[in-house]
Amino acid sequence: MFERKDKNKQIGLKTSEGVPTPSSVPVKKGNEKKAKRTVAVNGKSSKSKLLLKNITNSLKPTLRETKKSTRAMVKSPLAVTGIVLIAFVLFLGIAAPILAPPQFADDPLYIPRDFETPKPPGAEGHLLGTGLQGADIFYGVIWGARTSIEISLFVVLTAAIIGIVLGAISGFYGGRIDDLIMRVTDIFLSIPSLILAMAVAAVLSRSLENIMFALILVWWPPYTRLIRGQVLSVRENTYVEAARAIGCKNKRILFKHIVPNSLAPMLVSITMDIGAVVLVAAGLSYLGFGASSGTAEWGKMVSDGQQFFLSTVYYDGQAYTPYWMVTFPGLMIFIFVMGFNLLGDALRDLLDPRLRR
């Protein structure tokens, strides 16, 4: 033990107690030679090795927590279902070019079509049938996954960053700037989000990018509120006082000490909002904002398919009620959103100390 401490002193590094360093590992007699050789070989790198050990040691509590959380997650069947659903959609999104090679490489969201009347699932190699203008539903369902992932991640992350910055400033500095930011969020929050998004999308031209813009505009105020509330409580902690006492600047205190400790509750909202954004985006597309007909976007596909809904189409002399154009894209929206809601719900239980352990 003494030897170890001395060695640490020599190198000038701190190790947390009770952690074996190379020299303190009890060496069995028979292995003495071998051990010595190892030390000798690694002698030059022992300094960097120790440093590495220190880093892993400092990560240990985090790792332990993560392990515990992971174990708790895996134990909850609902969380696992959520993860499986998300993985499924992610797989479709990533493997889209292989599963459904695009007709035009520069416009993969254009669903290949044969301009004939809709065909039922299974007909002529169309696994899920065809829809408006004979567009292949399978292709749309696959590439729609990519569209949805892109839209939701971009909207939620952008809105979260705006919310974190504004909320942190508002909660930390208080006073006039707080009043200003809070009044602006009041205004945004007193207009129903779908209506505001519709109005913004209506002003802009109809495209997926503009839907994203409209959604970001709707989504940042709740995050700002959430972070502000967190910052208000976190900034009363003693470690913030300590940081101030050792002369940290405001900006450093805010973004290195307060904000990282305010993010936990946001994790749940972000997870669930990834699903919610897809729902609202699909709703907007369904109403006719955003993507044009024949784009691989699930909401638009439902509204394209609705034109044939409850009607009859004939294929090969047989009559069909075209349920497939509406059912499959809608089911995909459900799977995507449900996955994130299940995961978010499990995360909430996990992060709530009262429900944990």
Partner 1 sequence: MRLASYIAKRLLLLIPVLLGVSILVFTLTRFAGDPAAAYATEKTTDAQLDLIREKFHLNEPIINQYWYWLDGVFHGDWGYSRSARLPVTDAIVEFFPATFELTLISMVIAVVIGVALGTISAVKRDTPVDHGTRIMALSGVSLPIFWLALMLQYVFYYAIPIFPAAGQYGDKYILTGVPDYTGFLLVDSLLAGNLPLFGDAIMHIVLPAVTLSFGSIAIITRIMRSSMLEVLNQDFVKTARAKGLSEKVVIRKHARRNALIPTTTVVGLSFGGLLGGAVLTESIFSWPGLGRWSSTAILSNDWASILGFVLLVSIIYVFVNLIVDLMYAYLDPRVRLE
Interface with partner 1: number of residues (CB under 8 A): 44
Pattern 113-152, binding to partner 1, x per CB under 8 A?
----------------------------------------
In whole angstroms, the minimum distance from the beta carbon of 341 to partner 1 comes to: 5
SS3 letters across 282-345: HHHHHHCCCCCCCECCHHHHHHHHHCCCCCCEEECCEEECCCHHHHHHHHHHHHHHHHHHHHHH
Q: Which is nearer to partner 1, 223 or 298 (CB)?
A: 298
Q: Where are the alpha helices (DSSP H) in the chain?
A: 2-11, 32-42, 46-75, 77-99, 137-173, 175-189, 193-203, 208-234, 238-245, 250-252, 259-262, 264-287, 298-306, 324-351
Based on the shown chain and the rule CB under 8 A, indicate whether residue 306 belongs to the binding site for partner 1.
yes
Query: Contacting partner 1 (CB under 8 A), which of 302, 304, 320, 324?
Result: 302
Please identify, among the stretches 88-96, 99-107, 225-233, 298-306, the one whose residues bind partner 1 according to the rule CB under 8 A.
298-306
Q: Please answer whether residues 329 and 92 qualify as being in contact, where contact means their C-beta atoms are separated by less than 8 angstroms.
A: no
Please tell me the distance from the alpha carbon of residue 55 to that of residue 15, in angstroms, as a whole number: 10
CA nearest to 209, candidates 288, 290, 295: 290
Distances in Å between the alpha carbon of 306 and those of 136, 163, 232, 274, 323?
A: 15, 37, 49, 26, 9
Report helix angle 324-351 to 137-173, nearest 10.
Answer: 30
Based on the shown chain and the rule CB under 8 A, indicate whether residue 192 belongs to the binding site for partner 1.
yes
Q: Which is nearer to partner 1, 172 or 340 (CB)?
A: 340
In whole angstroms, the minimum distance from the beta carbon of 355 to partner 1 comes to: 9
Residue with tokens 């207009």: 191
Residue 96 φ/ψ, nearest 5 degrees? -50, -45
Based on the shown chain and the rule CB under 8 A, indicate whether residue 322 belongs to the binding site for partner 1.
no
Q: Please answer whether residues 137 and 130 qualify as being in contact, where contact means their C-beta atoms are separated by less than 8 angstroms.
A: yes
Query: Contacting partner 1 (CB under 8 A), which of 88, 255, 309, 315?
Result: 309
Based on the shown chain and the rule CB under 8 A, indicate whether residue 110 belongs to the binding site for partner 1.
no
Please tell me the distance from the alpha carbon of residue 25 to that of residue 34, in angstroms, as a whole number: 13
In whole angstroms, the minimum distance from the beta carbon of 166 to partner 1 comes to: 16
Query: Contacting partner 1 (CB under 8 A), which of 215, 333, 347, 350?
Result: 333
Q: Which is nearer to partner 1, 62 or 190 (CB)?
A: 190
3-state secondary structure (DSSP) of residue 247:
coil
Q: Which is nearer to partner 1, 234 or 278 (CB)?
A: 278
Q: Which is nearer to partner 1, 158 or 306 (CB)?
A: 306
Pattern 74-93, binding to partner 1, x per CB under 8 A?
---xx---------------
Query: Contacting partner 1 (CB under 8 A), which of 1, 98, 105, 203?
Result: 203
* Contacting positions for partner 1 (CB under 8 A): 77-78, 183-184, 186-188, 190-192, 194-196, 198-200, 202-203, 275-276, 279, 282-283, 286-288, 299, 302-303, 306, 309-310, 321, 323, 326-327, 330, 333-334, 337-338, 341-342, 345
